[in-house]
């Protein structure tokens, strides 16, 4: 065989080999389908308007809590109302040593009485005596502090026999007929709250009952640190409720517009994108669907989802080993 014939044969064989290689490389491998169906739990997407509610926690406090302080220096000689006992507004709740002041008061009374009975006494002297008597009575009363409100004597800050200076706290009087629960809520919720609106208040304590409450104040300015708004809820005292307890207020909110809501467990991250696995076909296989999600401020367990139609079957549990095209065995 001539040399040229050999070269031609070699070229032809090489061309055939290249063609075969190119044909093989064009073929894509068939997707690998799991031999055993993956057990998953699914939920059917529904378009609905969810009734809203927001729960916020805080601490109970007395509606009015007053500290009675000494207005003059002296020794405490009596605390007439024991701790935990009811006291009426205006009642004496402490007595300081008034020996010298009382003697001065008696002298002022005697002088004023004598001048008022003396028809010949100059009017200016009578007026001075009456004013001196008024000042003496005032000094006497300053050593007998009164309760500014009706309530309970919650705490004595001093003991009988103790010497106090002007301004020293003597005791606390609290009005616990109504308690106030202070809570902070987000901007999305506060726009729906109004003074006078009702809220359910629930104490987080063993044996605590739910108690009806009423909104008494809604702050008009957010906290500069938390960006949340203070809301005060008034609730009748008694039963399990005490000032200082932790409690929760549940505020009902209007339902938002109809939308697809899914459990947060249904939304997965794949290659930096949020999405869900949808069931398709029979036997059921899963398909990945990218979605956009939005917070639902009154339902922290849900996402508001865009990209899924009503009626779609969405995987919510059983993601171990799950991937695009996996065959699944679905339960609700």
* pLDDT value of position 301: 85
Residue numbers of the domain that contains 220: 54-62+174-253
Indicate whether 115 belongs to any domain.
Answer: yes
Q: What is the mean predicted confidence (pLDDT) over 309-327?
A: 90
CATH number at residue 279: 2.40.420.20
Percent of all residues in the chain with a pLDDT value above 70, rounded to a whole number:
86
| Residue 248 sits in the same domain as residue 266 | no
The answer on 194 and 154 residing in a single domain is no
Q: Dmax of the chain from CA atoms? A: 168
CATH, residue 134: 2.40.50.100
pLDDT of residue 158: 96
pLDDT at 34 over 60: no
Higher pLDDT, 81 or 294: 81
Q: What is the pLDDT of residue 20?
A: 47
Q: Return d(Cα 105, Cα 96) in angstroms, integer.
A: 15
For residue 182, being part of any structural domain is answered with yes
Strands 292-295 and 302-306: antiparallel
| Highest-confidence segment of 31-35, 229-233, 270-274, 282-286 | 229-233
Query: Which pLDDT score, from 0 to 100, does residue 241 have?
Result: 78
Predicted confidence (pLDDT) per residue in 168-204, tens digit: 999 999 998 889 999 999 887 888 888 988 777 777 6
Q: How high is the pLDDT of residue 8?
A: 56
Q: Which CATH number covers residue 191?
A: 2.40.30.170
14 assigned to some structural domain = no
**pLDDT band at residue 205 under the 50/70/90 scheme:** low
Distance, C-alpha 303 to centroid of its chain? 21
Q: Which of 253, 150, 241 is nearest to 197 (CA)?
A: 253
Q: Token match 């001093």: residue?
A: 158
User: Is residue 142 scored above 90 in pLDDT?
Assistant: yes
Do 120 and 88 belong together in one domain? yes
Q: Which of 253, 269, 291 is the endpoint of a domain?
A: 253
224 lies in some domain: yes
Cα 205 to Cα 241: distance, rounded to the nearest angstrom? 9
Pair 187, 310 in one domain: no
In angstroms, the Cα distances linking 114 to 107, 119, 121, 126 are: 11, 10, 9, 9
Last residue of a domain, one of 171, 196, 215: 171
29 belongs to a structural domain: no
226 in the same domain as 87: no
- Are 120 and 158 within one domain? yes
Whether residues 125 and 156 share a domain: the answer is yes
Number of structural domains (the chain) is 3
Q: What is the pLDDT of residue 226?
A: 87
Mark whether 270 and 137 lie in a shared domain. Answer: no
Question: Do 167 and 77 fall into the same domain?
Answer: yes
Alpha helices in 118-230 (DSSP H): 123-142, 187-190
Q: Is residue 32 part of a domain?
A: no
Same domain, yes or no: 276 and 322: yes
Query: Which whole-number Å values give the CA distances from 288 to 37, 46, 268, 278, in the listed order?
Result: 17, 19, 10, 6
Does pTM surpass 0.75? no
What pLDDT does residue 99 have? 92
Question: Is residue 246 pLDDT above 80, yes or no?
Answer: yes
Same domain, 78 and 164: yes
pLDDT tens figures, 53-69: 888 889 989 989 999 99
Q: What stretch of H or E contains 52? A: strand 52-69
Query: Would you state the pLDDT for residue 28?
Result: 43
For residue 2, is it within any domain? no
**Nearest alpha carbon to residue 187 among 215, 228, 225:** 228
80-105: average pLDDT: 94
Q: State the number of CA atoms in the 13 A half-sphere of 204 facing the CB.
A: 13
> Which of 105, 137, 171 is the last residue in one of the domains?
171
* Residue 8 within any structural domain of the chain: no
Same domain, yes or no: 193 and 318? no
Mean pLDDT, the chain, rounded, equals 85
């Amino acid at each position: 065989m001539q040399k040229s014939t050999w070269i031609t044969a070699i070229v032809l064989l090489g061309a055939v080999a290249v063609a075969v290689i190119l044909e093989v490389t064009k073929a894509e491998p068939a997707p690998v389908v799991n031999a055993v169906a993956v057990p998953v739990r699914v939920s059917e997407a529904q378009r609905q308007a969810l009734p809203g509610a927001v729960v916020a926690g805080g601490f109970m406090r007395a509606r009015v809590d007053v500290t009675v302080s000494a207005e003059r220096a002296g020794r405490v000689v009596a605390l007439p109302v024991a701790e935990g006992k009811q006291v009426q507004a205006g009642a004496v709740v402490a007595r300081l040593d008034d020996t010298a002041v009382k003697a001065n008061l008696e002298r002022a009374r005697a002088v004023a009485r004598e001048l008022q009975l003396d028809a010949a006494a100059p009017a200016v002297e009578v007026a001075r005596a009456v004013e001196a008597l008024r000042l003496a009575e005032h000094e006497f009363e300053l050593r007998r502090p009164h309760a500014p409100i009706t309530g309970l004597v919650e705490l004595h800050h001093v003991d009988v026999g103790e010497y106090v200076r002007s301004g020293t706290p003597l005791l606390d009087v609290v009005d616990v007929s109504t308690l106030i629960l202070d809570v902070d809520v987000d901007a999305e919720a506060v726009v729906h709250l109004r003074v006078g609106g009702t809220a359910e208040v629930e104490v987080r304590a063993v044996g605590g009952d739910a108690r009806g409450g009423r909104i008494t104040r809604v702050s008009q300015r957010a906290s500069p640190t938390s960006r949340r708004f203070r809301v005060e809820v008034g609730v009748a005292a008694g039963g399990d409720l005490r000032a200082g307890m932790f409690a929760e207020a549940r505020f009902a909110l209007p339902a938002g517009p109809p939308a697809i809501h899914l459990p947060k467990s249904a939304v997965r991250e794949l290659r930096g994108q949020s999405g869900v696995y949808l069931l398709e076909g029979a036997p059921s296989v899963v398909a990945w669907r990218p979605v956009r999600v939005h917070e639902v401020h009154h339902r922290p367990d849900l996402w508001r989802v865009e990209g899924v139609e009503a009626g779609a079957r969405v995987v919510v549990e059983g993601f171990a080993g799950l991937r695009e095209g996996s065959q699944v065995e679905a339960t609700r």
